[in-house]
Chain A
Amino acid sequence: MSRRAAAEHRLAWLLCAPAVIAMLVVTAWPMLYAVWLSLFRYDLRFPDQRQFVGLDNYLSVLGSETWWQALFNTLLITVGSVSVELVLGFVFALVMHRALIGRRLVRASLLVPYGIITVVAAMSWRFAFDPTTGFVNALLGLDGAWLAERWSAFFVIIQTEIWKTTPFMALLLLAGLTLVPEDLLRAARVDGANALQRFFRITLPLMRPVIMVALLFRTLDAFRIFDTVFVQTRGAQGTDSVSIVGYNTLIARLNLGLGSAVSVLIFVCVLAIAALYIRGFGIDLSRREDA
């Protein structure tokens, strides 16, 4: 290696060091610490009774109905919101792509849900569906206590997630739409392909990489759902998400051992989802690094 190359390596590592150290110290190390804590019986209310228990915490989490219900709930919210977001995001992206008048207005208004604090969005929808303060019941001629029952609460939660994050999906898809060559679509139109055929045979296949990346990010993001559930139900009526269970165990009940086992299991789930997307659907993330 030449001296110049060595100097370049040194400079590069010097520049990267602060960020890399920060990421290692504040994420990698706490994650390892969580794995370590999960092997102990460790309740902050009784710190003297700290004791190594091996995999007992995992066994009690995996043996509890709370965990499996929360996992089911989280997957339900994830699949429910991300699938609707994909369709709705596509519609919004097409509107922005095709609308001649008001395109900027549409884009600007879509940035509003993106920019709003999630807690605020969740509050607004909670008040809207509330039987005392809300307008939804009056509008629909119903008198339901939406957040007091499990399935209608899920509807409100998923609906809030969709409202808040569809813009992100739509903006990514819009960027993907602009990569589809207009000539190709025009040629297909001349050859007699109708709008649906053009969309399913040309636009969709060409956008596959963008769609997969958007889906991966949104799925992982939706799986972490915490704010909306916390504000709207606090996990009552059987609407716990796994993050809520983790928070309740760790912070509300101060049970670090058991809570860390929950944390590690959530991390494993996230890894599994990422692996499923990357292996199963063949997203090539590394390709994008050399762009």
Chain B
Amino acid sequence: MNDRQLHDEIERYLSGEMSREERAAFDALRKDNADIERQVNEHRQFIGMLKQFNERRELEQRLNAIHNEIDVHSLKEELTVHPSWIVQLWRNHHSKISVAASIAIFAMLATLFFTGYFKGHDSNYTQLRMQMESYKRSTEKLNNSTNALIHDIKASKRIIEPAKFGGTGFALTANGYIVTNYHVVKDADSVYVQNETGDSYHARIVYTEPGYDVALLRIDDSTFKAQNPLPYTLKRAQSDLGEDVYTIGYPRNDVVYGKGYLSSATGFHDDTTAYQVSIPVNPGNSGGPLLDNKGNIIGIISGKQSLMEGAAFAVKSEYLLKAIKNMPSDSVNKKIVLNSKNTLASLSRAQQIKKVQNYVYQIKVYSK
């Protein structure tokens, strides 16, 4: 029996076309021959798969026919859970929104970076200490060469090198205490003060109060002699807006007078320790005294706002007093006795200046 004949026999057997005798014989054959038995089962399984395939295909066709009757579109509308429009906006566009947000943030950071926002302190605020190196060097060199000899001979064997920074300071007491800004003397290796007549003395920093931008120096030079009693006093109370004020300082090598008025009771970024003053000031004015009409010191010039016309700032005198109070007593070897008698009140402005300028010093700071 070849394959073809066997196949026919199996089909007849499975479809029940065999007579009873044939069937019995085939059953016996199946029992005897495992190979035939296997082929019968395989054939039956395969035909079963074909039938299943057909059944499923027909079922799918029926289901498709039913499905076509359904109005899917309106059903969809009805069944979609509509989230609020903002959620939908986010779902549909979140990638675009994210990109836009990143660009915006980047642009903002870049702008802040290029405008110098991240550089330590506010760029709008300019501290008024003077960078001396450039032009001081040439003049001092000249001084050095011409006066070196005389200087050497004349007692003090002091070699004057160009100072790195400059500012202004004023006497707190007659015995050599001088007030200036902290930012003028910070990082200083040595500090010299020079008075209006050109005498230069070495000074030591005895106390600093960076929070108020106040520094206290003491002249510790043997050539220094105590001055006459101070003509001015420190004002303890707050001054009023609109008050006429003036300053004298060293924005250059000679003393310079500046006049203005008190324009706000708070300083840069609403700093309550400072006044805003409308007054012409320049680098080098830092640390200078701010006086009112009667010759009371009401503040210390400390800086100005670079983007605003005529806005300078001055540390209030009450904070200077606080700084003096905060000073540990062991850092002073001569007692600080504040002057309490004002001799300027009745004088004209020009006479006031004449007196005050003796007590205003140019501060020269040397550092590596």
Binding partners A and B: no
B contact residues vs A (CB 8 Å cutoff): none
A contact residues vs B (CB 8 Å cutoff): none
